[in-house]
Structure 1
Amino acid sequence: MKFLKHFVLGLWTIMNSLTAVMGQQDKPNVVLIYVDDLGYGDLGCYGAEKIKTPHLDALASDGIRFTNGHATAATCTPSRYSLMTGNYPFRQSGTGILPGDAKLIIPQDKITLPRVFKQAGYQTAVIGKWHLGLGDQVDKNWNGSIKPGPLEVGYDYSFIFPATADRVPTVFLENHHVLGVDKNDPIVVSYLQKIGHEPTGKEHPELLKMKNSLNHGHDHTIVNGIGRIGWMSGGKEAKWVDEELTLTFADKAIRFIQDHYQQPFFLTYNATEPHVPRMPATIFKGKSGLGYRGDAILQLDYTVGQLVKTLKDNQIYENTIIIFSSDNGPVLDDGYDDGAIAQLNGHNPFGPFSGGKYSAFEAGTRVPFIITWPKIIKKGTTSDALICQVDLLSSFASFLNVKYARGEAIDSENHWKSFMGTDQVGRSYLIKSSGTLSVLKDHYKYIKASKGAKKNNLVNIELGNDDVDQLYDLNVDKGERINIADRHAQKVAELKKILDQELTK
């Protein structure tokens, strides 16, 4: 009798273990491909005719292409903050575009998107651009352990550069340490004044292989023949080469998939394209006919193809959710003379919308948004549902049965059905932060009155600011050219009330 009891207990334990393992294997892997400054009109599947993006077009054919998908802001740091925290960026100070030496702005003691997956038993990794700050203060030792960072907010592994490619320090960090540090050549970074003896773009323009075009601050320390924002000295062996950036990140992402394909994983791949400085690998230079910006988009498309191939080679593509989107809309000349305007060749990165990066108009935040899950999502779907990147946190938390405290991720809504293509409505409204605030509800867009400049003359983008309230009917005026606020006072009052309520939460 005792033997039978132990036998049954042992069998029950084995079955429970097998059930747990099978349950883990049934969970979909998730790959979030988050790109930088890509416009609504930059992909073939969104109407581009002058540039070929076959791998991204194929991704859209395998799942859902959203026509009304949004970032929360028209610049990178605030959008990334919302993606990570589930909160609109105006809820926390210091979420504007960060310098390369900024301290971490993501709370360590609250729910984050990667922490949702970590709590659900996933292996988590971030590879690529970060731009959310590192450490607990601005002054940090770049030659030692740098934390808190990605590992402290939910990732098990990180391979990143600190901010953007046009800002120092131009180094890779793997987990807490800069790669290639030499104690005899210590790295020092400053955004206040010149340090060290490295040449700058301002003093030595003859050393630049890519000239500056605007007064954006790209005339400080020269790295790889390109002037950057900020000053850096030391770290000769640690500095990366622009042409190798994407290939390095892609290799790390592929290796992570290969090492973790037998267990559920969440991989955030933060691509640098097509953010400046656009200096693609040699094999892509001149291939698009649209200057380096177009070449960078070809490089991005190729990289996505390699990630998909890796998933297929390891037989996990069918049960992997891939989310592709951009942190904000496009900009052509953003500080470097790279042919983005001179070689535009009729290409329209903005699609049917006005504005772009930095702008409250639609091209600033309405971005490509594609989701695939071959096992579940119907192929070749187009959805007009109003969705936002801020909702990924709540939606995946609901799907994975992960709970978090009241008062956390307060702006993230569960729109799992929309993300899966079974709901064509999505959000009832969306608040967007792009200089001034705006509200998108149904087909109406309200932009709050603002005293800011109406146009960023440096980048030639209309900012959407005006000293009066604006209202647009996007069904008939996608370009936001005809302000109908004075004819629809009731609608203005309705949307204004929504915004006021959100600001008092």
Structure 2
Amino acid sequence: MIQRKSVNLVLITCHDLGRYLGCYGIDTVRTPHIDALAQQGVKFTQSFAAAPQCSPARAAMTTGRHPHCTGVLGLTHGRFAWDLTDEQLTLPQYLSGQGYQTVLAGLHHEANRTARLGFDQRLASCPGHDFAGVTCMDIADKVQSFIHAQDATDKPFYLQVGLFEPHRDPASVTGFPEGLHYDQQQVTLPDYLSDTLEVRAEFDAFSDCVQLADAAVGRIVKALDDSGQMGNTLVVFTSDHGIPFPRAKCTLFDPGLEVPLIMAGPMLEALEKRNYHGLTSMIDLLPTVCDLLGLAIPSSVQGVSHAQVLEQSTSVPVRDELYAQMTYHDYYDPLRCIRTDRYKLIVSFEATRAWMDPTQQWDHQSSVHLTLEKAGLRHPPLRLYDLESDPLEQNNLADDASYATVRHELGSKLLEMMRQTDDPVLFGMPVSPAHREAVSLLTQTSDDTAAMREKSKIVEVLP
């Protein structure tokens, strides 16, 4: 009998990976270790990020709440400086209160300050978001050492492993960090991108990074096996959002929201079905993990647990729809969507470009297929897609009278969710930390100037 509350938890997150993995149908990329984990555990086939960009998506995962409810409406590093509000309960904070030793290894991007997340310890620490040359293999080495140092009598641990790869590196010639390359390696291009030499070159470098990240995951899993901890550990593998290419990351199209989600642990070993097809939002990660570990779900959580369906105690679908959003990334681009198994409604609250460019390059290498809308076009206010007949989300049905009922039903549900959760976008443009900083400095400059003028007046009247 498994003592659920003594089971360790290891959460491994890649940066910008999407579902570009062998076990998700990309047979040109070599990811044997992640594929093996999927064979050993449960693979979620319809898992989607709560946001198509880094910090809001990660904030949603660690709190189990919609991004706009966490305080993280944009990136957390540098001048962006968004941060979790004081009342947010993070996964490491909660598990620490449940008797877990909580450890962060490598990257986090869900808070402005590491201390805000509530970890007891950090491995492979580094200054800044850019990670100062620390590779996923460096992090895996640190994790290996930590795992081998644990004793069976120790209290259970929560180990959160954040890998930078395969995020882009603007300073690199290829656009990506150095990865693991195989001879005669081929690439698989998504249908929404043009098939050009430039696009293939970028996907070759991207694939190398994915393969290196897979090697790091393999090293971590091997350490769990070799130390005898694997049989008492729930391992979760995922990514923050979709791949870092045009019309994917920073959009609410499926390629921006698709993430892998794989769970392997002692409570899942007896399952007959290894693929879980239920619609899953990543705000569901925290409640599902808590359920699997035998822990109560915090009352602040807005996500739902899929544990009962995974353990086959019920066959009732957990979700009929999920929600996703973007507010700020490089700039203000407020988007909200609702997605069901078949339909998606996207609402744009500004007439910004049709999609934000995520490539971090002045000289773009990857381009969208000629049949699809270009970034230079503007968002329509509403976009409705039939995902069954139009998986590339090309044909906007928002003005099609035959879909009026679908548009009304989805729009009503989305508006109700936004109202119930006090989504600030309903009331206009939320003020960013960068804006507040600029106003503060401007005010300070003005006050300093006024003070200098007063001082000069005093000097002038002195005898």
TM-score in terms of structure 1 length: 0.66
Cα distance, 1:376 vs structure 2? 2.5
In 1, the alpha carbon distance for the partners of 2:238 and 2:312 equals 16
SS at match of 2:135: helix
Q: Would you say the 8 A contact 1:126–1:268 is kept in 2?
A: yes
Contact 2:2 2:266 in 1 (8 A): no
**Percentage identity across paired residues of the two chains:** 28
Change (3 A) 1:117 1:470: same
Secondary structure at 2:231's aligned position in 1? Answer: coil
- What is the DSSP-based 3-state SS (H/G/I as helix, E as strand, rest coil) of the residue aligned with 1:455? coil
The change in CA–CA distance for 1:76 and 1:261 in structure 2 (over 3 A counts) is farther
Deviation (angstroms), 1:476: 2.4
CA distance in 1, matches of 2:316, 2:33: 25
Alignment CA distance shift 1:25-1:370 (3 Å): closer
Aligned counterparts of 1:473 and 1:124: Cα–Cα separation in 2: 43
2:304 aligns with 413
The aligned amino acid for 1:391 is D
Q: 1:292 to 1:421 in 2, by over 3 A?
A: farther
Hey, what does 1:38 align to over in structure 2?
17
After superposition, what is the alpha-carbon deviation per residue over 1:286-331, rounded to whole angstroms, capped at 9, x for unaligned? 6656533221111111111111111111122123211111111112
Report the alpha carbon displacement of residue 109 of structure 1 after superposing the two structures with TM: 4.4
Give the secondary-structure state (helix, strand or coil) at the position aligned to 2:220.
helix
Q: Deviations over 1:150-203 (max 9, x none)?
A: 4x43311123445532xxxx5xxxxxxxxxxxxxxxxxxxxxxxxxxxxxxxxx
Distance (Å, rounded) in 2 between the aligned partners of 1:465 and 1:445: 19
Structure 1 position 395 matched with structure 2 position 282: no
How far has the Cα of 1:468 moved from its partner?
3.8
Query: CA contact under 8 A between 1:280 and 1:295: conserved in structure 2?
Result: yes
The one-letter amino acid of 2:345's match is Y
- Contact 1:62 1:379 (C-alpha < 8 Å) held by counterparts: no
Q: 1:492 aligns with which of 377, 401, 407?
A: 407
**Residues in 2 aligned to 1:47 and 1:467: alpha-carbon distance in whole angstroms:** 32
Structure 1 gap segments, 5+ residues each = 1-21, 136-148, 171-239, 334-354
Trace 1:112-261 onto structure 2 (pairs within 5 A): 112-135=90-113, 149-150=114-115, 152-159=116-123, 160-161=125-126, 164-165=129-130, 170=131, 240=132, 242=133, 244-261=134-151
CA distance in 1, matches of 2:284, 2:151: 26
Distance 1:427 1:73 in 2: 18
Q: Take 2:221 and 2:229, find their aligned partners in 1: how far apart are those partners?
A: 10
Corresponding residue number in structure 2 for 1:221 = none
Equivalences for residues 12-161 of structure 1 within 5 A = 27-40=6-19, 42-100=20-78, 105-135=83-113, 149-150=114-115, 152-159=116-123, 160-161=125-126
Match of 2:354 in 1: 454
**How far did 1:488 drift?**
1.4
Alpha-carbon distance in 2 for matches of 1:438, 1:25:
36
- Asked if the contact 1:102/1:134 (under 8 Å) is kept, the reply is no
Separation in structure 1 between the aligned mates of residue 268 and residue 348 of structure 2, nearest angstrom: 44
Letter in 2 for 1:427: R
Q: CA deviation at 1:369?
A: 1.5
Change (3 A) 1:315 1:33: same
> Which residue of 1 is the match for residue 439 of structure 2?
none
Contact 2:101–2:158 (8 Å) recurs in 1:
yes
SS of corresponding position for 2:230: coil
Equivalent-residue separation in structure 1 for 2:267 and 2:295 (angstroms): 22
| Structure 1 residue 280 displacement after superposition | 2.8
List aligned pairs for 1:359-438, cutoff 5 A: 359-377=251-269, 378=271, 381-400=274-293, 402=295, 406=299, 408-409=300-301, 411-420=302-311, 423=315, 425-434=317-326, 435-438=334-337
State the AA in 2 paired with 1:132.
E
Are 2:7 and 2:293, in contact at CA under 8 Å, matched by a contact in 1? no
- How far off is 1:425 after superposition? 2.5
Query: What is the DSSP-based 3-state SS (H/G/I as helix, E as strand, rest coil) of the residue aligned with 2:10?
Result: strand
CA contact (8 A) 1:112 1:393 kept: no
What is the CA-CA distance between 1:111 and the residue it aligns to? 2.1
Given the alignment of the two structures, is residue 444 of structure 1 paired with residue 343 of structure 2, yes or no? yes
> Residue 52 of structure 1 aligns to a residue in which SS?
coil
- What is the CA–CA distance in structure 2 between the aligned matches of 1:24 and 1:67, rounded to whole Å? 29
- Answer whether contact 1:116 1:402 (CA < 8 A) is retained: no
Q: TM-score, normalised by structure 2?
A: 0.72
Residue type at the aligned position of 1:432: A
Q: Is the 8 A contact 1:125 1:157 kept in 2?
A: yes
Q: CA deviation at 1:274?
A: 0.4
3-state SS of the aligned residue for 2:325? strand
2:14–2:239 Cα contact (<8 Å) kept: yes
| 3-state secondary structure, aligned to 1:489 | helix
Paired amino acid for 1:417: Q
Q: How far off its partner does 1:457 sit?
A: 5.6
Given residue 281 of structure 2, which amino acid in structure 1 is its aligned partner? Answer: C
User: Partner of 1:448: helix, strand, or coil?
Assistant: strand
TM superposition shift of 1:104? 7.0
Q: Write the distance in 1 (CA, Å) between the matches of 2:297 and 2:40.
A: 32
Distance 1:261 1:452 in 2: 54
Q: Which residue of 1 aligns with 2:196?
A: none
The CA deviation at 1:395 is 2.7
Distance 1:374 1:402 in 2: 16
Query: Higher helix proportion, which one?
Result: 2
Q: How far has the Cα of 1:375 moved from its partner?
A: 4.8
Which of these residues, 228, 231, 237, is aligned with residue 318 of structure 1? 231
Aligned partners of 2:71 and 2:233: how far apart in 1? 36
- Pairing partner for 1:308 from 221, 235, 242: 221
Counterpart of 1:44, as a letter, is G
Cα distance in 1 between the residues matched to 2:227 and 2:414? 47
Aligned to 1:271: 163
3-state SS, counterpart of residue 488 of structure 1: helix
Secondary structure of residue in 2 paired with 1:90: helix
Q: CA RMSD in A?
A: 2.9
Match of 2:396 in 1: 483
Q: 1:311 to 1:92 in 2, by over 3 A?
A: closer
In the alignment, which of 225, 241, 245 is matched to residue 328 of structure 1?
Answer: 241
What is the total number of aligned residue pairs between the two structures? Answer: 369
